[in-house]
Amino acid sequence: DKQLACCLIQSEEGQRYLKAMRAAANFAFVNRSLMAMSCRKAFEKVFGRTAEAMDMRTVYDVSHNIAKEETHTVQGKDMRLLVHRKGATRAFGPGHPDVPPKYSEVGQPVLVGGSMGTCSYVLCGTQRAMELSFGSTCHGAGRGMSR
């Protein structure tokens, strides 16, 4: 597939890619934070109450389309891997140490956004997902055609 490329992650190109991806993830986090702040300010203006009084807070935030170093079981052995979730996000199962404590019993929350013509879903990670996909799932509405 000519849209896919690869390089050794320890190479100069691989390290440049990781740095650029992490910078993009930081930008995306700040962008989401600023959009949330703008929404809170608009609600405050319209309703004449503070965002805190209306309990307007971020419930959950997770990155997608990102590579992360993680430990997974491969052929019965724990291995440190760089898992690149392109078009996907994490969905770790119950009890996983990287799942926030408040979600530990049920698994990592996953919000799958729909579109004007499709439903949205609220899911949670499972042990089966850990076994089949390194704890990964789709992250939302896809596109009809490739980029």
Q: Which tokens sit at 87?
A: 């078009």
- Which listed residue (72, 84, 96, 139) is catalytic? 139
Question: How far is residue 85 from each of residues 43, 57, 113, measured CA to CA in Å?
Answer: 34, 27, 17
Query: Rounded to an integer, what distance in angstroms lies between the CA atom of residue 108 and that of residue 71?
Result: 16
3-state secondary structure 12-54: HHHHHHHHHHHHHHHHHHHHHHHHHHHHHHHHHHHHCCCCCCC
Q: Which tokens sit at 57?
A: 């807070």
64 is catalytic: no
Show which residues are catalytic.
Answer: 139
